[in-house]
Amino acid sequence: MNSGTIRRLIITLATGYLTVFGVRQIPYEFANEWLVLVPALILVYALTVWVEGKIFKDESFVVPVSKPVKKKAEPSIKGFK
């Protein structure tokens, strides 16, 4: 595991814990708490990964773009020789 993966894991665990804590502090009784927690955790994970990518600018996920190779122009059969 590289340092970016460990950092993302720690940040995700921390924000996930805060999300669960925050949902349980809402003064409303949910019939099924998981129907609130799962979408909230998915949203928090997506935001965490996005913000972490903006802050740390991890270059390991950037795919190098290669330039297209130009084909040599073959002499045509038609035309002047």
The whole-model pTM stands at: 0.61
Average pLDDT score over residue span 58-79 = 66
40 touches 15 (CB < 8 A): no
pLDDT at 79: 64
pLDDT at 58: 57
Q: What is the pLDDT of residues 26-60, one digit of tens each?
A: 898 889 889 999 999 999 999 988 888 888 875 55
Give 12-58 as a DSSP string: HHHHHHHHHHHHHTSSS--S-THHHHHHHHHHHHHHHHHHHHHHH--
56 touches 4 (CB < 8 A): yes
Contacts of 75 (CB under 8 A, 6+ apart): none
